[in-house]
Homo-oligomer: A and B are copies of this chain.
Amino acid sequence: MAKTGTRTKTETARGARRTSSAGGRSRPAPRAPSAKAETPYHHGALREALLEAAERVLERDGLGGLTLRAVAREAGVSHAAPTHHFGDLTGLVSELAAIGFRQFNAAMASACNAATTPLERMLARPKAYVGYAQAHPGMYGLMFRTERLDYSRPSLHEAAEASFAGLANAIGAMRQEQISGNALTLDQGAAIARAWSMVHGFTTLLLDGRLKDILERLPRGTTAEELLEAILKSTVVGKLPG
């Protein structure tokens, strides 16, 4: 998609760069954490810097703004630099999505650990799911909306797999069953797919603003979180263990 923005800056913002001039330039270990200052010659840690830049661009300008060239600009390198580290846009996007999945998994795990009562244990995970998506809508869109993901990349495959495993285990715990990785009964599969579908669907619709109609018709001031909780409770009624 061609950007129609007003920016007309010359592509290679080499002005900020700094030619070696400062003869000393001893940069043994990659970059002291002294932020910008000296732009390094070979940078030293471009890969990580590009991923961080990409996340900033994503959350600032949305999925449509996440381009190879925009990321390169954000990181202050030439537009072709990312290619060397990620191959192509799909590569960068996939690595960023892997980071997203890891953040996502960590958020759910920590929420589960913080839960104490059975009811809390039941609600913690889905609430963390939606909460992460609300806090990082760009990342969530990257993980679940983009078509440009390459799941054959080990990092992405593993992170996404871990996400699924966490879900399956949570459902298994709720049903007081051991869910083995191998086979599932139709009942088990339905329980997993149902939980995932509902939370993922809710999140997608919420981020797309499609639940606004419903929220506005609810008693004054009802939040999305309250709606989610009502859904979860009605779904799970009478199924609390113990």
Interface residues on A, range: 35 or more
**8 A Cβ contacts from A77-93 to B:** 89
Q: Assuming the A-B contacts A197-B201, A231-B197, A234-B191, are A217 and B64 also in contact, with contact meaning beta carbons closer than 8 angstroms in the complex?
A: no
Contact B1 A190 (CB under 8 A): no
Per CB-CB distance, the 6 closest pairs between chain A and chain B, nearest first, are A201-B201, A197-B201, A190-B230, A197-B202, A200-B201, A184-B217
A145-B201 Cα distance, complex, nearest whole Å: 12
Within 8 A of B (CB), among A208-242: 208, 211, 213-215, 217-219, 222, 226-227, 230-231, 234-235
Give which listed residue, B185, B194, B217, contacts A189 with CB less than 8 A: B217
- 30 residue pairs of the A-B complex, CB under 8 angstroms, read A145-B145, A164-B213, A182-B217, A183-B217, A185-B218, A185-B219, A186-B222, A186-B227, A186-B230, A187-B234, A189-B217, A189-B230, A190-B230, A191-B234, A192-B214, A193-B205, A193-B214, A193-B227, A193-B231, A194-B231, A194-B234, A194-B235, A197-B197, A197-B198, A197-B199, A197-B201, A197-B205, A198-B198, A198-B201, A200-B201
